[in-house]
A and B are shown apart, each in its own frame.
Chain A
């Protein structure tokens, strides 16, 4: 931990506000945050605190009003829509509360989606998809459609999809929000193992204390400001 690793996420003075009618509502004010490679950060806070907005900014699906937001040293605040899309394809893996799988695509095809944006040929794509499906324990469900899978299984397909292109960071928005306790635990186990065994950098928004417990660092957001920082140092495999 003492080793000075360059930060993988570096946020300085980030601010974002929304316009509602002719009122300007500040959502995030002067956010400073930094994450190192392999870190697992949980963002908590009451609803409306701006945690999802912050997550969206880091994921490059929303743009800040000011401040610096660099991922792996690249400031993404200046990128155009198209550049951002390409950047996301390469650097970000998404896990959503409602899984957001394409209902008309099989598990295999859903996982394959991000790879379609790469130059990988068909054979290589198949290898990658099979690998991550095995990793999430769904190799035998590759041909199933989302409607044929349980919520927990669907979320595992979504995790496989987030993983398959080997992104720089994985963002997760309430990944257990729609799951029962048992499934939630399995998903958190999976995410934890991704973080520990594969050294994936994860940033997760959650309401759930059980979920937050799995992170190394828990940051609280209140009314658009980062408040306390709880660190939970733990043994982690260096990858």
Chain B
């Protein structure tokens, strides 16, 4: 029986090839769009995903645009449970044109990279970088995008730190895995500080954030409190949190946009649900007489329901499968095209599952009304000619 029903479902699908194809096409588009939008949301969180809960970020309590004095470093380092402390400044320079965006940080060259093992730099390049005060290290993607090679001069125009800057590329880092951001640019914090001393003396010896590596991640809450307590009521109060929480607070600032994207990703599912429900309603209405015949012969309601639900699910799942299959090359293309906005644009493992669930949901919901009608159809009524 199951075998027979399956065969009948399959053949029914091909009775209106154009209608089936159009419906499936709609589902393909919807499922692919759903997957891409979900991946966009994931990309938004990629920075937070990749960040560690065993590192703390210490910043000025007022906001990130206020710096902290450099000497805080020693005081933090002396705390029990702190493995190492590094520091960084957001540079925000422009490479030739404002459109060429990539993140730039002035970092302390000796302590920064050991804290981020995901940035893989060949040892000799690292050495060359550490020895050159004007040196810089850049991610593979950015280097490839602008055709930079080790030894090249990189000019940047400062926005936060005014002036024309020039760096010598000493190394190119690779990500340890696909989820590492390969677009960042690093240079010596001392290089920055020297210029600041000259042009804005009262901003010298100040850093944007401290990065604190912990011996034991479970001590993060206690140490955060300890650090903030240590500098309470000073002229630069601190706010410490794990790197993950720090990144998430950035995401939260644009949560309205995230919300819109999420709402939209579900709306498209609802729209295609209406399209599919319409297809199934029309199909079932045309087959009323057949359902009545089957029931007259002795087939029961659940057989007829299985026929309708089967057809609906077959179309929606087939469309969903193709949609998911298309998602990967499309995501790769989007990731490449919008690399400056989304350095990490990878379809997560959960996305195809969610997309498949949505495809199944479309099939089930679309089948509901016609299946209910067919099940409650009185056999005698089914034979009355009606359209």
Contacts and interface: CB of A to CB of B under 8 A. Distances in A.
Chains A and B touch (C-beta atoms under 8 A apart): yes
Interface residues of A, number: 29
Contact of B297 (A56, A62, A104, A117): A117
Interface string B257-294: 00000000000000000000000000000000110111
Contact of B293 (A90, A92, A100): A100
Interface in B1-60: 1, 4, 8, 11-12, 14-15
A114 B290 contact: no
A94 B8 CA distance: 21
B301 A105 contact: no
A90 B11 contact: no
Contacts of A104: 8, 11-12, 14-15
Contact of A61 (B14, B15, B296, B300): B296
B380 A88 contact: no
B1 A116 contact: yes
B288 to A, nearest CB: 11
Contact of A105 (B8, B292, B297): B8
Interface in A111-157: 113-114, 116-117
Interface centre among A82, A88, A104, A161 (most CB of B within 10 A): A104
Interface residues of B, number: 23
A85 interface: yes
Contacts of A103: 15, 290
A128 to B, nearest CB: 15
Interface string A85-105: 111111010101010101111
Contacts of B338: none
Contacts of B295: 61, 85
B293 A96 contact: yes
A71 B220 CA distance: 82
A114 B298 contact: yes
A114 B378 CA distance: 19
A62 B290 contact: no
B290 to A, nearest CB: 6
Given A102-B8, A102-B293, A105-B11, A56 B380 contact: yes
A113 B297 contact: yes
Contacts of B289: 98, 100
Interface of A: 53, 56, 59, 61-62, 81-82, 85-90, 92, 94, 96, 98, 100, 102-105, 109, 113-114, 116-117, 161, 173
Interface of B: 1, 4, 8, 11-12, 14-15, 289-290, 292-301, 378-380, 383
